[in-house]
Chain A
Amino acid sequence: MTDAVNGFHAARWNEPLIHELSEPGARGLVPPATDPAIAAAAPDVRARLSKVLRRAAPPALPEVTQHRIVRHFTRLAQMTMGFDVTTDMMGTCTMKYSPKMHDHVARQPALADVHPLQDPSTLQGVLEILYRFNRMMCAIAGMDEFSFQPASGAQGIYTNACLIRAWHQSRGELTKRDEIITTAFSHPADAATPHVAGFKVITLMPGPMGYPELGALEAALSERTAGLMLTNPEDTGQYNPNIRAFVDKVHVAGGLCAYDQANGNPLLGIARAGDAGFDLCQFNLHKTFSAPHGSIGLGCAAVGVKQPLRHFLPRPVVTFDGTRYGLDDDRPDAIERIRAFLGNVPTVVKAYAWVMSLGAEGLRAVAETAVLNNNYMLANIRRIPGVAIPWPDNTLPKLDQVRYSWAPLFEATGVTTMEIEQRLVDYGVQHYMPSHVPVLVPQPFTIEPGESLTIEEMDHMIAALRRIAEEARENPDVVRSGPHNGSVARIDDGIPNDPETWAFTWRALEKKRAAWAQERNAKASRHAGY
C-alpha cells in the first residue's frame, strides 16, 4: 500500500484538562495509613511549622476517580505519534525501533527499585553492565574510557566542553586558550554548551560543498584555540572528507578535538572517532543505541575520552578488580558532577542490550542500512517537482540524513516548508524536522529514515511528500490550513508567544482567558477592516 491518501484520521478525543475533570471529593489513590501508634507518638507534626509555612488549604490538585485518570492519559497517549505508532523521520533525531524486551527488563524491580547509593556489593549487576558497556563503547568509538553520567546529548556535549576546560586549566593555559571552534551545521549544542562553559565560540560557515573548507579552519585557529567541537556528518548528512586534516591542524595549534556523534548512526562499525584523531566524543544512547526517546527523554549520553583525559571524567567511575565491581570516588582531578548519581542507568542497560543483540556484524548492518535507506529516500525525493538538493556540486553520497529544500516549490506556489510540515500529519506520519538555526538552506526540510523502517513505510513517506507538493500547486489552501485530520484543530500561533496571552499552567490559563478573548476580538476587528 503506497497510496498516501489513505483516509487517515488521528484520534481526536477533545479531552479536557485534568483540572477540568475534577469533582469535589473524588479520590484517585489512597496513601498508606499512618499506624495509630505512630500517630500517637507524633500527634501534630504541623504544629512545629510556623504559620506562614503551614499550608492553609490543600494544594488545588484535581480530584478525579482512578479509572477516569486511566482514560484521560490513555487518550492523551492515543493522540501522540510515537515511533511505535507511525513513521518518524525527523532529521537529527535518529528515530529507530526500541526493542520491547529491553524496556520490560529495565522495569523489573532488580533495576527499577534499586537505590544508587546502596553498597556496591548489592549493585553488582548494574555495575557489571556499566563496566561491560564502557569497554564496548571504547571498542565502538576507539576511545579509552567512557562516562554515562550526562542525561542528554546536549549535556554530553557540555561535558566535553568541561573536559576541554579542565585539560587547559591543568596545563595553566585556560586564560590564554578561550576559543572553541564549531561549524554552522553542527548541532546547536556544539556552539551553545562551550559558551555556557565560559569559552568564546567561533562558527565556521559552509563552503561550496556544504561543509567548511580547511582554509576557514586555518583562519580561525590561533594561540587562543582551546578546541574543536563538531558533528560529522553534519546535520545536512554531508560528511566532511577533510576531517583528519581538521583534527591535525587543531592539534598543531594546541587544541583538543571533540567529536559530537549525534549523527553517529551511519558510522557504527565503519569509522571511529578515535581513529580520526579525536580526543573526546559523545553519543546519544537514547537515539543511536535504540533506547527510547521517551517523549523528549529518558536521555543519556556516553562521553568518551582518550587516555590523557581519563582522570578528568566525573566521579564516580566503575572499577573491576577481577572479582568485584566497585565505584571509584577518589578522583582528585575529576571535573565536577554533571548529573546526580550514576546517570540514567536504565537507558545504559537498554543500550547495552541493543549492542548485545546485534554484535559487530549487526552494528555494521545498522549503519549500512541507515545509509542505504537514506539514499533511497534521496533518490526518490529529489524527483519530486519542487524539491532542490543544496550544494549540487557535492556529488558525494549523503550518509544518515539529507537537508532538502522546498525553495522551487515555494517560488512557484508560495507554500512554505512549515505549512508542508503540518500538513504531513494528515498522511498519518510524524512531521519532519525543517532545520536547526541558522537556517542557511531556504525552505528546508531534513529527513533521516534510520535503519528500522521497511520499504513500504519509506514509500508511504515519499508518496505523502509528493502528494503534498501536488496539492501546493493544485489547491494550496488545503496545505496551508492543515492539518485537517490531526488530534486537534488549528490553534492561534500568536497566543503562545505573547507575554500577555501565553499560559504555561492551569492557574495562568484561568487568568488569561480574558486576554485571549481580547486578542480574538482585535483580530476580528482587523479582519473586518477597522
Chain B
Amino acid sequence: MADSEGFVHPYVPNAAPGPRRKLLDAIGVADVAALYAAIPADLRLAGRLDLPAPLPAEHDLRRHLEELLARNRSAKDLLIFRGAGCYLHHVPALCDEITGRGEFLTAYAGGTYSDHGKNQAVFEFQSLIGELVGMDVVTPPTYDGGAAANSAARMACRITGRPGILVPALMNPARLSQMRGFVKPTTTPVTVRQDPASGLIDLADLDARLGSGIGAVFIEQPSFLGVIETQVEAIADRVHRAGALLVVGVDPLALGVLAAPADWGADIVTGDIQPLGIHMQAGGGAAGFIATRDEERFVAELPTTLISAAPAEGGGLGFAWSTPERTSYDTRHEATDYYGTTQWLWGIGAAVYLSLMGPKGLAELAEGIMQRTAYAAGALAGIKGVRVPHRDQALFREFVLDLGPSGRTVAQVDRALLECGIVGGYDLSRALPALGQAMLVCVTEVHGKDDIDRLAGVLAAVLS
C-alpha cells in the first residue's frame, strides 16, 4: 500500500521507510537486495506476482469476503438433514467464546512454562475423552477421525506383527479411501460383509476373514449407516481369539448412551470430535483422537504428542510433552507414522463442550438424538414409495432411506427437497452403489418434531 511515505501496511510495520532504513543501517547493508545474495539471480522473480489488486482497507476486504460468503446457504437458511461424517449440532456460546480467545487462537508450540494453560486444557481434553471411551491414554487432537483410524490400524498391525486389516464393507467410503492410501505400503484393507437387512457385521464372514495374517479389525460404532453394532461382545471375542486387536471408530456423542468401548473389548478407540461443540465449517471442523490402554507396548506406538501431568514444586500440577522420541520429529527416516500441527484448538473447544454437558447433559442429549432418530425413521417409513431397512435396529442420528420402490433417484428427490429449503440425506447411490437409490438421513437435537414432520410432509409430496 503505497502512500507519500512509501509502502506502509498495518501488518508489516518495518516495511515503512523509517524503520526499514533503521534496520538496514543496523545490519550495515545498503538495501534489502543485498540480503538475498544467496539466491542466484536467475531464480529471482523478475517483476511482480500476477495477483489481483489488493484491498488494504479492512472495510473493503470484509465487504468483499462477506459478499462471496453470502453466496453460500447455511444452516440458518436451510433445514439440513445431512451428516455422513460432519454433523449439525448446537454449538454452545462458550465453545465459540473460548476457541475465539486470542491467547488460544494464536498460541503455538509453547511448552510446560510458557503455555501452561493450553497444555492443561488439552490434558483436560484427553481426560474428558478418556471418561467417554474408558481408556487411560488419549491423544491430543489428530488431523481428523479418518487419520486417527488410520494411525490406530497401523499401530495395531505393528503391535501384533501382522499386516492385515479388516474393515466393514459399508464403512464411510471417504474414510476407507483415506485408509487405503495410508496403509498402501503394507496392505490393502479387506472388507467384512454387513448384513443388508440388519446393517450389522456378518459374524460368519468375520470368522472367515480372520486369520494369522490379520492384525487389526476396525469397526464403526455406530456404523456409517447409523446402526448401532449390538454384537460387540461376539466381535471382540472373535477378534481376540484370532490374535488381532479391535480398533473402534466411535462417535463420542453416542457414548452418552453407549457403554465405554473399553468395557466391551476395544483395544484402541478412535473418533472425530467435530460433534462436540465444533461448527461444521464446510468440513473444517473435523479433528480426531486415539485412545488406548496404559501399557507401554501401546503407548510406544502412538504417533502423536501426549500431554502428561506432573507434580509441580510446592503443590499443584504442571503439564509436559511425554516421550517425544516416539514421534516422527525424532524418528525421521525411520518413522512409522507422522505427526505435526493438527487441530488442537478444536480439542480445547471439545473440552469446553464436555465440561458444559456434564454426565447428565451428555446422557440426555444422546438419548434425545436416539429418540428423534427413531421417530424420524418411523415417520419417513410411513411414506409410500420408500423403505427404512434398519428401522427395527438401534439407530443413532442417521438411517438409510431407500427410495427404490418410488422409482425416483436420490438426485431427483434431493433437487425437489432443496427447492423447499431442505437439504436431504446424503446420496449413497454413488458412494455405496450396492444400496441402490438410497439416502442417509441425519437427525440431531437441533431438529424438533416440526422439522422432522416437515421433512416427512415435503418428501411425501415430492414422491406422490
Q: A29-B92, A337-B174, A430-B114 are in contact. Are A358 and B105 (CB under 8 A)?
A: no
Can you list 21 pairs linking A and B with CB atoms under 8 Å apart?
A17-B123, A52-B233, A76-B120, A77-B101, A85-B103, A103-B100, A114-B72, A114-B280, A151-B342, A271-B39, A296-B345, A298-B345, A346-B284, A360-B50, A362-B1, A362-B12, A430-B115, A454-B19, A496-B310, A504-B137, A505-B137
Docked pose: A56 CA to B329 CA in angstroms: 42
Docked pose: A136 CA to B49 CA in angstroms: 9
Contact of A299 among B111, B257, B343 (CB under 8 A): B343
Do the beta carbons of A116 and B282 come within 8 Å of each other?
yes
* Per-residue interface assignment for chain B, residues 141 to 153, with 1 indicating a CB less than 8 Å from any chain A CB and 0 otherwise: 1011111000000
Q: Does A228 contact B (CB under 8 A)?
A: no
Q: A97-B11, A372-B32 are in contact. Are A58 and B359 (CB under 8 A)?
A: yes
Do the beta carbons of A397 and B36 come within 8 Å of each other?
yes
Q: A73-B352, A126-B282, A495-B311 are in contact. Are A508 and B26 (CB under 8 A)?
A: no
Of the stretches B158-166, B207-215, B240-248, B365-373, the one at the interface is B365-373
Do the beta carbons of B13 and A19 come within 8 Å of each other?
no
Do the beta carbons of B40 and A241 come within 8 Å of each other?
yes
Docked pose: A347 CA to B95 CA in angstroms: 18
Do the beta carbons of A297 and B141 come within 8 Å of each other?
yes
Closest B residue to A198 by beta carbon equals B185
Which residues of B are found within 8 Å of A28, using beta-carbon distances? 355-358, 361
How many B residues have CB within 8 A of the partner chain? 217
Chain B proximity of A466: nearest CB distance (Å):
15
Of the stretches A39-47, A213-221, A406-414, the one at the interface is A39-47
Which residues of A are found within 8 Å of B362, using beta-carbon distances? 58-59, 61
Do the beta carbons of B107 and A82 come within 8 Å of each other?
yes
Do the beta carbons of B100 and A107 come within 8 Å of each other?
yes
Interface residues on A, range: 35 or more
Of the stretches B125-133, B399-407, B456-464, the one at the interface is B125-133
In residues 306-346 of chain B, which contact A (Cβ within 8 Å)? 306-314, 316-323, 328-346
Which residues of A are found within 8 Å of B186, using beta-carbon distances? 198
Docked pose: A98 CA to B94 CA in angstroms: 22
Q: Does A385 contact B (CB under 8 A)?
A: no
Contact of B177 among A53, A244, A336 (CB under 8 A): A336
Of the stretches A250-258, A469-477, A486-494, the one at the interface is A486-494
Do the beta carbons of A116 and B342 come within 8 Å of each other?
no
Known: A18-B127, A154-B340, A496-B321. 5 other contacts (CB 8 A): A46-B367, A73-B94, A77-B103, A99-B58, A359-B56
Do the beta carbons of B121 and A76 come within 8 Å of each other?
yes
Docked pose: A70 CA to B426 CA in angstroms: 37
Contact of B116 among A80, A336, A499 (CB under 8 A): A80
Q: Does A5 contact B (CB under 8 A)?
A: no
Do the beta carbons of A45 and B76 come within 8 Å of each other?
no
Q: A75-B117, A431-B113 are in contact. Are A362 and B54 (CB under 8 A)?
A: yes
Q: Does B197 contact A (CB under 8 A)?
A: no
Interface centre among A56, A69, A379, A396 (most CB of B within 10 A): A69
Chain B proximity of A283: nearest CB distance (Å):
13
Q: Does B228 contact A (CB under 8 A)?
A: yes
Closest A residue to B320 by beta carbon equals A496
Docked pose: A359 CA to B48 CA in angstroms: 10
Q: A42-B378, A70-B97, A299-B340 are in contact. Are A122 and B318 (CB under 8 A)?
A: no
Chain A proximity of B147: nearest CB distance (Å):
7
Q: A18-B351, A56-B259, A275-B43 are in contact. Are A188 and B37 (CB under 8 A)?
A: no
Which residues of B are found within 8 Å of A162, using beta-carbon distances? 181
The 8 closest A-B pairs by CB, nearest first: A341-B283, A359-B54, A336-B181, A198-B185, A154-B340, A84-B102, A79-B117, A116-B283
Chain B proximity of A269: nearest CB distance (Å):
5
Which residues of B are found within 8 Å of A271, using beta-carbon distances? 39, 43-45
Do the beta carbons of A103 and B113 come within 8 Å of each other?
no
Chain A proximity of B135: nearest CB distance (Å):
8
Chain B proximity of A352: nearest CB distance (Å):
8
Which residues of B are found within 8 Å of A502, using beta-carbon distances? 299, 306, 308, 322-323
Q: A115-B423, A119-B418, A297-B345 are in contact. Are A504 and B335 (CB under 8 A)?
A: no
Contact of B356 among A66, A488, A491, A511 (CB under 8 A): A66
* Per-residue interface assignment for chain B, residues 64 to 78, with 1 indicating a CB less than 8 Å from any chain A CB and 0 otherwise: 111011111111101
Chain B proximity of A296: nearest CB distance (Å):
4
Docked pose: A53 CA to B221 CA in angstroms: 11
Do the beta carbons of B333 and A191 come within 8 Å of each other?
yes
Chain B proximity of A408: nearest CB distance (Å):
23
Q: A80-B118, A124-B72 are in contact. Are A336 and B92 (CB under 8 A)?
A: no
Docked pose: A68 CA to B310 CA in angstroms: 24
Q: Does B35 contact A (CB under 8 A)?
A: yes
Chain A proximity of B416: nearest CB distance (Å):
12
Q: A58-B363, A61-B358, A509-B309 are in contact. Are A46 and B257 (CB under 8 A)?
A: yes
Contact of A78 among B103, B132, B136, B144 (CB under 8 A): B103
Q: Does A93 contact B (CB under 8 A)?
A: yes
Q: Does A177 contact B (CB under 8 A)?
A: no
Do the beta carbons of B309 and A503 come within 8 Å of each other?
yes
Docked pose: A343 CA to B281 CA in angstroms: 10
Which residues of A are found within 8 Å of B430, using beta-carbon distances? 329
Do the beta carbons of B367 and A45 come within 8 Å of each other?
yes
Which residues of A are found within 8 Å of B146, using beta-carbon distances? 337, 339-340
* Per-residue interface assignment for chain A, residues 103 to 125, with 1 indicating a CB less than 8 Å from any chain B CB and 0 otherwise: 10111111111111111011111
Q: Does B85 contact A (CB under 8 A)?
A: yes
Do the beta carbons of B374 and A45 come within 8 Å of each other?
yes
Chain A proximity of B64: nearest CB distance (Å):
7
Q: A455-B14, A488-B116 are in contact. Are A373 and B130 (CB under 8 A)?
A: no
Q: Does A364 contact B (CB under 8 A)?
A: yes
Docked pose: A2 CA to B88 CA in angstroms: 50
Chain A proximity of B404: nearest CB distance (Å):
21
Chain B proximity of A298: nearest CB distance (Å):
5
Do the beta carbons of A112 and B354 come within 8 Å of each other?
no
Q: Does A525 contact B (CB under 8 A)?
A: no
Q: A28-B358, A339-B286 are in contact. Are A111 and B255 (CB under 8 A)?
A: no
Which residues of A are found within 8 Å of B185, using beta-carbon distances? 196-198
Which residues of A are found within 8 Å of B114, using beta-carbon distances? 81, 424-425, 430-431, 486
Do the beta carbons of A373 and B23 come within 8 Å of each other?
yes
